[in-house]
Structure formats: structure tokens, C-alpha cells
Amino acid sequence: MERALAQARAAAVRGEVPVGAVIIGPDGAVLAEAGNRTEADRDPTAHAEMLAIRMAAAKLGASRLIDCDLHVTLEPCPMCAQAISFARLRRVYWGASDPKGGGVEHGPRIFDQPTCHHRPELYPGIAEVEAAELLRDFFKARR
């Protein structure tokens, strides 16, 4: 999670919402890491999770990331949760919960839907205080 937090900090420095994601492969090696780039890329889908999934899939040459794990600093939104399911990620670890925009424990709860074909193991609350503080400080400075 420390690498994901580092990506979140770097995103904040770039003026992006501070969310970072890291994908770990079956052998324990880092396959991909990214921070949000929605502003820089002018792309509403350039969330840290989406970018990391794309990078890991390209690196493995596969659309399914079987036996790979995602570490992300914020509860994935519905878009990212659906991509996680499509990618068949094994586990998802996240820091801060997102009552307003989350799609796992909040909102549509993507993995609980009958149309969801893959449900990863879920581990919320990893480095939650630090992840939440990054977000709080970022938005406080913007207001």
C-alpha cells in the first residue's frame, strides 16, 4: 500500500485527486502502478485503477489478470469496480472508504450484483487514516 500512497501523493502534486493504485502479479512483483490522471489526460476514465489495469494487462499480454492483486488508496468507484471484475483480479485492498462515490461497499455495490461474474476478495481499511488524510487535505486546499 505504501507504493499506492506514493502514487497518490504524486497525483496530488500534479493537481489530480490523490488516488494511487498498484497491481501485484502472481509472483509478488509489481506489474503496474499509477496515480489519477483524469485532468492531465483529459480523460474521465483515467482513474488510478483503470490505468494500472491497462498497464498490467499490456505487460502480461492478457485481458485477465488472474491471481493478481490490486492495492488502491480509495474504495473503487462503480466504473473501476466493474473493470476489476472484468479483469478477474484476485484481491482488492483499499485504504479510505468512499461513501459518496464508492462502488464496492457503497453505492451500487458492484460485486454484490447478480450480473457480476467475478467477485474478488475484498480487504478495506488498509492505511485508511493516511489515505483519507491525503484526500481531506487535497480538497481542503481547493476550497
Residue 42: which residues within 8 A CB-CB, separation 6 or more?
none
Q: What are phi and psi of 112, to 5 degrees?
A: -90, -5
99-122 per-position pLDDT tens digit: 999 999 999 999 999 999 999 999
Among all chains, which residue has been given the C-alpha cell 480538497? 139
Residue 112: which residues within 8 A CB-CB, separation 6 or more?
119
What average pLDDT does the segment 82-109 reach?
Answer: 98
Q: Pick the catalytic residue: 49, 105, 128, 130?
A: 49
What pLDDT score does 105 carry?
Answer: 98
pTM (2 decimals)? 0.96
2 classed as catalytic: no
Give the C-alpha distances (Å, rounded to integers) separating 44 from 17, 39, 63, 126.
Answer: 12, 8, 21, 26
